[in-house]
Amino acid sequence: MINNSQDSASGGGGEMGLSIAISGGIVTFSIVYAMMSFPAIIDDTTKISTSESQMADNQFARIQTNISISNLQDQSGNSPATFQVTNTGNTLLWNYEDFDVIITYQENAANNPILTETLKYANSCSGLASDQWCISHIQNDYIHPGLLDPGKIATINAQPAYQTESGGNFTVEFGTDNGVTTSESVQIS
């Protein structure tokens, strides 16, 4: 009988060793899994932090940006409208490709329809095509040539796709790359 009880005691010890080994494997797997997940958590946290920083920078730039339009003129026919944009804020403006210029005008055609067009930026005013806008001149452009520093005034040409009608209205809405907009209207001469 002593032999039988010793056999059953040694069999129980084997089961206990197996459960300790399984528990150890589970704990080791959990630690390794947690360590492998840690860089992904840090990466996500870094992405969120970077995104929040960029959003704050964009909001600050928007608060510091201000523009105004003056001297809007359009003559009936095919010539471009002209106007001046003054940088009245504290932000340097330069990303003209991402600016928005939207014009609304009365066309010189049957029934004189009112048209709205979104214009694309052109690097040069020479041979300005329809549905394009350009900067023909920046006053006092000594510091940062070609960029619209605070206080500088840019003269803009905006070429409609169709002829404008004398006596109709011509409206331009001008927006910077960070979403600050201004608009002006004039009667077409």
Same domain flag for 75 and 143: yes
**Are residues 174 and 81 located together in one domain of the fold?**
yes
For residues 85 and 54, which has the higher predicted lDDT (pLDDT)? Answer: 85
Examine the domain organization and report whether 48 and 78 are in the same domain.
no
Strands lying side by side in the sheet with 67-73: 67-73, 81-87, 153-159, 132-138, 114-121, 100-106, 169-175, 181-187
Domain that holds residue 34: 1-64
Give percent of the chain with pLDDT exceeding 90: 61
Q: What is the mean pLDDT of residues 59-82?
A: 90
58 and 74 in one domain?
A: no
To which residue do tokens 């009988």 refer? 1
Residues 94 and 19 in one domain: no
What average pLDDT does range 174-186 have in this prediction?
95
Q: What confidence score (pLDDT) does residue 9 get? A: 46
CA distance 93 to 75: 29
Q: What pLDDT band is residue 13 in, cutting at 50, 70 and 90?
A: low
Q: Does residue 55 share a domain with residue 101? A: no
Same domain, 116 and 182: yes
User: 91 and 129: one domain?
Assistant: yes
Shared domain check, 134 and 115:
yes
Is the pTM higher than 0.85? The answer reads no
The domain total for the chain is 2
Q: pLDDT for 134-175, tens place per residue?
A: 999 999 999 899 999 999 999 999 999 999 999 999 999 999
The verdict on 38 and 72 lying in the same domain is no
Confidence of residue 1 (pLDDT cuts 50, 70, 90): very low
